[in-house]
C-alpha cells in the first residue's frame, strides 16, 4: 500500500472536481485527483455534451425540413443514425483532451484512476494507495434515478449513460419523465425521425415558469411529440421492441424503446462516509453555506451536494471551496445568480426567482416588466418570433428573470451578472446593444419598465412643456 500525503484530495474528475484540481494546483497546492470512471464525468461523457451534440443534429434535420419560409425548398432529411452518433462521439473527442489525465498531470496533479473510499476522517483508500489529505473535496456526482416501478426491472431501457451509444433509430421512443433530460431528448429524437411519447407524472418542465414551459410544450407538440402530463407511471410491461407503460389513472402508452429520465440520485454509495463522520440527506451530502460537510476537513460540491445540478453550478462551487481552502477566506455559496437553461427549441432559461416565487416572497412590492420576441427585429428576420422575457423586480432591482424563445440560454447570462452584483434596472437600460441582435431584447425589457414612467407621466410632460417654452 503506497501512502501519499497531499494538501488537497479531490474525489471525482467531473465538472466540479476538475475545476477544483486545476485551480488549486495552478495556485501552488499539492493535489491528488481520484477518478474511477471516465475523465470529465457525466457532463462530457453522458450529459451536457452528447445531449447538445444530438440536439445540433436534430436542429440541422429540422432546418432542412423547414426552409420554405425563407424561400429555400423544404427537403425531407435523410438521417443516418450511425453518422449522427459519429458526430456525437467526435464532439466529445474534441473536448476530451481538456479534461484528460495527461492534461491534469501536465498541470502537476497526481491523477489516480481508482475508486476512493474513506478509511478515516482524513484518509482515503484508492486501489493500492492511502491518501492522507489536509482537505478533501467530494465531487462524485449523481446517477440516473431508477425508481422501483413494478415491471421496470423486467424490460430493457436506456438512461443517459447508455442512450448516447445508440447507433440505430428507435421507432417509437417512450420517455419516462418530462424534466430537462426528457424534453431535450424528446425533441432531439422526434426531429431525427422517431415517434416520441413523454410520460410525465406531474407537469412537464415543472420547475420552470408555467407560461414559459407551456410555450415550449406547445412547440414540441406541434412538432409531433406526444406529451402526457399527470401520468404517473405505475407499471411497466413487455419486452424489447414492445414496451407498455401504465399510468396510475389507467392510461397506457406503447412504444418500441424506453428512456428513463426520472431525476438523479447522488453517488454516495461505496464511499464509506461513516468512517469520516460525513452525514447525508435525501438529496446528497449535508453541507453548510460554505459547502463544508459535517467533517470540517471535507467539502462537497456538484451534483452530490444536492443543490442545483448543473455543470456551471459545480464550477461556481469549485471557486467557492478553492477560496476557502487555499486562502482560508470565509466563502459562502450563493444560488440567486445561478442560471439554468433547457436547450429545447425554443430554449427556456431562468435565473433567480420565477414570477410565482417572487410574488410569494415579495407580495405587492413586486413589479414585472415584459417584452415579447415579436418586438425584436432580428427575431423577425430569423422568423423566431415566439417567446418573451420577463423580469421580476423589487424597487427597481431585478430578483428573477425568465426568458423563453430563440437563444434564451445565451440571453440569460446578462441577468446573472445583474443579480450577482445586485444591479439596478437603470444600469441595464444604460447598455447599448448592437442592432439588430437578439441581445436587444434584454435592453428592451428594461425599456418596457421605464417607458410608462417616461411616456405616461404628467410630471415629465409638464417639465418638457416648461423647458420648451424657455429654451431659445
Ligand X SMILES: NC(=O)c1ccc[n+]([C@@H]2O[C@H](COP(=O)([O-])OP(=O)(O)OC[C@H]3O[C@@H](n4cnc5c(N)ncnc54)[C@H](O)[C@@H]3O)[C@@H](O)[C@H]2O)c1
Ligand Y SMILES: Cc1cc2nc3c(=O)[nH]c(=O)nc-3n(C[C@H](O)[C@H](O)[C@H](O)COP(=O)(O)OP(=O)(O)OC[C@H]3O[C@@H](n4cnc5c(N)ncnc54)[C@H](O)[C@@H]3O)c2cc1C
> What does the block give as the cell for 454?
417616461
- Which residues, 138 to 167, sit near ligand X by CB under 6 A? 149
> Does 267 sit near ligand X (CB under 6 A)?
no
CB of 198 to ligand X, least distance (A): 9
Spell 310-339 as b/e; 16+ CB within 10 A means b.
bbbbbbbbbebbbbbbbeeeebebeeebbb
**Residue span binding ligand X (CB under 6 A) among the ranges 107-115, 127-135, 170-178, 322-330:** 170-178
Q: How many CA atoms lie within 13 A of 201 on its CB side?
A: 13
Residue 23 annotated as binding?
no
- C-beta of 187: minimal distance to ligand X in Å? 12
CB-based contacts of 448, cutoff 8 Å, min separation 6: 369, 370, 371
Give the x/- contact pattern for ligand X in 303-342, rule: CB under 6 A: ------xx-----------------------------xxx
C-alpha cell of 442? 434584454
b/e string for 197-208 if b means 16 or more Cβ within 10 A?
Answer: bbbbbeebbeeb
Write out the binding residues for ligand Y, residues 250-279 only, by CB under 6 A: 267, 270-271
Q: What character string, x for contact with ligand Y (CB under 6 A) and - otherwise, covers 124-143?
A: ---------------xxx--
DSSP state letter for 165: G
Q: Considering the complex, what minimum distance in angstroms separates the CB of residue 177 from ligand Y?
A: 11
Cis peptide before 436 (omega within 30 of 0): yes
Omega before residue 346 within 30° of 0, cis: yes
Grid coordinates given for 324: 476557502
User: Is 151 annotated as ligand-binding?
Assistant: no
Residue closer to ligand Y (CB basis): 20 or 152: 20
Q: Which residue stretch of 190-198, 288-296, 298-306, 386-394 sits at the interface with ligand Y (rule: CB under 6 A)?
A: 298-306
Q: Pick from 170, 201, 346, 387: which binds ligand X (CB under 6 A)? A: 201
Name which of 160 and 354 has its Cβ closer to ligand Y: 160
Q: Which position among 10, 23, 42, 338 is part of the footprint of ligand Y (CB under 6 A)?
A: 42
Q: Does 302 bind ligand X (CB under 6 A)?
A: no
Please report which residue ranges of 337-407 form alpha helices under DSSP H. 355-362, 377-381
Please choose which of ligand X, ligand Y, none residue 15 contacts, taking the beta carbon within 5 to 8 angstroms, the exact cut-off set by kind.
ligand Y
> What torsion, rounded to 10 degrees, do the Cα atoms 28, 34, 35, 40 define?
-10
Cα–Cα distance measured from residue 115 to residue 126, given in angstroms and rounded to the nearest whole number: 5
**Count of residues in contact with ligand Y, rule CB under 6 A:** 36
Q: What is the DSSP string of 313-369?
A: HHHHHHHHHHHHHHH--------TT--EEE-SSSEEEEEE--HHHHHHHHGGGEEEE
3-state secondary structure of 217: helix
**Residue with the CB atom nearest ligand Y in the bound state:** 14
Contacts with ligand Y, residue ranges (CB under 6 A) = 11-17, 34-37, 41-43, 47-48, 51, 115-116, 139-141, 160, 181, 267, 270-271, 302-304, 309-312, 314, 343
Binding site listing for NAD(+): 177-184, 200, 263
Contacts with ligand X, residue ranges (CB under 6 A) = 149, 176-182, 184, 199-202, 206, 232-233, 261-264, 309-310, 340-343
Binding site listing for FAD: 52, 116, 140-142, 303
Amino acid at each position: 500500500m503506497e501512502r501519499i500525503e497531499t494538501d488537497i484530495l479531490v474525489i471525482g474528475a467531473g465538472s466540479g472536481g476538475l475545476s477544483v484540481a486545476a485551480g488549486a494546483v495552478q495556485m501552488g497546492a499539492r493535489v491528488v485527483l481520484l477518478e474511477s470512471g471516465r475523465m470529465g464525468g457525466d457532463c462530457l461523457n453522458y450529459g451536457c455534451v452528447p445531449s447538445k451534440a444530438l440536439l445540433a443534429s436534430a436542429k440541422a434535420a429540422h432546418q432542412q425540413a423547414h426552409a420554405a419560409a425563407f424561400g429555400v425548398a423544404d427537403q425531407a432529411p435523410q438521417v443516418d443514425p450511425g453518422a449522427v452518433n459519429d458526430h456525437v462521439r467526435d464532439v466529445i473527442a474534441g473536448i476530451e483532451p481538456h479534461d484528460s489525465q495527461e492534461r491534469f498531470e501536465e498541470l502537476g496533479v497526481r491523477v489516480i484512476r481508482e475508486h476512493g473510499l474513506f478509511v478515516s476522517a482524513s484518509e482515503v483508500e484508492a486501489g493500492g494507495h492511502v491518501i492522507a489529505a489536509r482537505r478533501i473535496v467530494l465531487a462524485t456526482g449523481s446517477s440516473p434515478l431508477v425508481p422501483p416501478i413494478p415491471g421496470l426491472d423486467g424490460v430493457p431501457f436506456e438512461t443517459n449513460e447508455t442512450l448516447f451509444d445508440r447507433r440505430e433509430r428507435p421507432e417509437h421512443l417512450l420517455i419516462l419523465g418530462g424534466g430537462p433530460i426528457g424534453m431535450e431528448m424528446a425533441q432531439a429524437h422526434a426531429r431525427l425521425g422517431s415517434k416520441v411519447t413523454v410520460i410525465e407524472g406531474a407537469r412537464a418542465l415543472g420547475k420552470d415558469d408555467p407560461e414559459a414551459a407551456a410555450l415550449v410544450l406547445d412547440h414540441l407538440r406541434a412538432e409531433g411529440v406526444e406529451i402526457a402530463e399527470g401520468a404517473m407511471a405505475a407499471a411497466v410491461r413487455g419486452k424489447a421492441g414492445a414496451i407498455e407503460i401504465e399510468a396510475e389513472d389507467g392510461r397506457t402508452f406503447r412504444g418500441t424503446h424506453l428512456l428513463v429520465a426520472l431525476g438523479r440520485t447522488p453517488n454516495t454509495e461505496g464511499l464509506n462516509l461513516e468512517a469520516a463522520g460525513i452525514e447525508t440527506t435525501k438529496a446528497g451530502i449535508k453541507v453548510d453555506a460554505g459547502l463544508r460537510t459535517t467533517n470540517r476537513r471535507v467539502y462537497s460540491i456538484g451534483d452530490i451536494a444536492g443543490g442545483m445540478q448543473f455543470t456551471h453550478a459545480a464550477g461556481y462551487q469549485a471557486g467557492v471551496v478553492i477560496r476557502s481552502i487555499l486562502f482560508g477566506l470565509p466563502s459562502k455559496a450563493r444560488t440567486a445568480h445561478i442560471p439554468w437553461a433547457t436547450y429545447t427549441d425554443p430554449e427556456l432559461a431562468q435565473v433567480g426567482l420565477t414570477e410565482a416565487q417572487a410574488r410569494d416572497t415579495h407580495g405587492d412590492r413586486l413589479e414585472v416588466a415584459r417584452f415579447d420576441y415579436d418586438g425584436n427585429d432580428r427575431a423577425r428576420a430569423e422568423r423566431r418570433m415566439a417567446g418573451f422575457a420577463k423580469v421580476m423586480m423589487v424597487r427597481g432591482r431585478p430578483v428573477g428573470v425568465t426568458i423563453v424563445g430563440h437563444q434564451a440560454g445565451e440571453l440569460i447570462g446578462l441577468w446573472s451578472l445583474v443579480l450577482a452584483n445586485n444591479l439596478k434596472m437603470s444600469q441595464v437600460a444604460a447598455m447599448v446593444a448592437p442592432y439588430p441582435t437578439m441581445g436587444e431584447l434584454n435592453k428592451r425589457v428594461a425599456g418596457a419598465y421605464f417607458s410608462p414612467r417616461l411616456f405616461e407621466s404628467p410630471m415629465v410632460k409638464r417639465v418638457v412643456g416648461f423647458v420648451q417654452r424657455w429654451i431659445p
